[in-house]
Amino acid sequence: MSESENQPALAAFEIKKGATPVMTLSERDVEKYLDPRELLDALEDGFQGLELGEIQSPPRSRLSVPGKGFSLTMPAWRSGMQLAVKIVNVFDGNLQIGLPNHLALITLFDPNTGATSCIMDGTYVTAIRTAAAAVLSVRLLSRADSRIATVIGAGVQGRQHLRLLPLVRNFERINISSLRFEEARKLAAQSEIARPIANLEEAVRESDVVCMTTHSPEPVIESAWVKAGTHVTSVGFHPPHGELPKDLAKNHRLFVETLDAFQPAPVGCSELVDLDSSRGTTLGAVILDQKLGRSSDHEITVYKAMGVAMEDMVAANLAFQRAKKDGVGNFMTL
């Protein structure tokens, strides 16, 4: 083929994008097209891909609005998937005006051309993928005979944890704790095996799995309450401290999404910033070699989440592909 045959028919200045149809998915659409069980399996495959270097998921960047909140940008891509970029805005004052304090938007791009293929609400994605990654750690690291779990926090994450935990273990009871008992009661009413509890210490002491899902700036439990053999998860993010007792992370087996968790916030987790990253084991490493996971029924294992863009990419691609397969979704022209 000659050099002239490789040249475009038009000069670059003559080429315009033109009207382009782009799929749009609302929060309700995304919730409809995301199957929780499929998401758990897809995240397991995603963490394996991260460990093998098959996924680009760079550290997130941050913009701060003094006195209001902050905005994070999170891109990720894996061959065979749409490129994904999520922008998530965390504005705590929103709760006072009837808005979620986490609002997000995800844009997908065709990896062959870079053209926009889908714009979807990312608020539900952020909620369910965060809980799903933590619950995946329960599947990978908790004892198989775990029967009692305690979820601390009755917010969005508390609700998603309550929904997903029964998918990975045969729990007989899930305790729900909240600063406001009435909120714990309302959340517990959504599950036949859930119970609202007022005494958090007693609940933690009897639990095989403890899930912290709060926005607390300080630890919400004491390490001494956690019995041998328990798996503990924490998804809260509140720099410069947070909900997870630092001695719990320091003195027991620690598992993370990636070793970036040991970086200062907003890239990493405040509770881990003083720890050496060599103390952490990634979920991907455990998936590739189960010997790197729980070593005994008496061991306490701890998972600390920071949230990585791979999780958003996986969830958004699942919703997008299901919508395409079913021939649904709205379209806008850009």
Q: Are 146 and 209 in contact (CB under 8 A)?
A: yes
DSSP-assigned beta bridge partners for residue 233 = 211, 303
**Together in a domain, 118 and 226:** no
Report the domain count for the chain: 2
Mean pLDDT of the chain: 94
Alpha-carbon gap, residue 219 to 175, rounded angstroms: 18
**Together in a domain, 26 and 119:** yes
Q: What are phi and psi of 59, to 5 degrees?
A: -55, 145
Domain that holds residue 275: 131-307
Q: 279-295: per-residue pLDDT in tens?
A: 999 999 999 999 999 99
CA 88, 32, 327, 42 torsion: positive or negative? Answer: positive
pLDDT over threshold 60, residue 82: yes
Q: 31-41: per-residue pLDDT in tens?
A: 999 999 999 99
**Together in a domain, 288 and 215:** yes
Alpha-carbon gap, residue 34 to 320, rounded angstroms: 9
Relative to beta strand 173-177, strand 148-152 is parallel
- Banded model confidence at residue 1, pLDDT cuts 50, 70, 90: very low
Task: Enter the pTM of the model.
Answer: 0.92
Q: CB neighbours of 37 closer than 8 A, spacing ≥ 6?
A: 167
Could you tell me which residue, 100 or 132, shows the higher pLDDT? 132
pLDDT over threshold 70, residue 319: yes
**Together in a domain, 214 and 315:** no
Q: What was the pLDDT predicted at 4?
A: 53
| Region of residue 150 (phi > 0: left; psi between -120 and 50: alpha; otherwise: beta) | beta
**Together in a domain, 47 and 105:** yes
CA 29, 35, 36, 41 torsion: positive or negative? Answer: negative
* Helix and strand numbers, DSSP H then E, in the chain: 9, 16
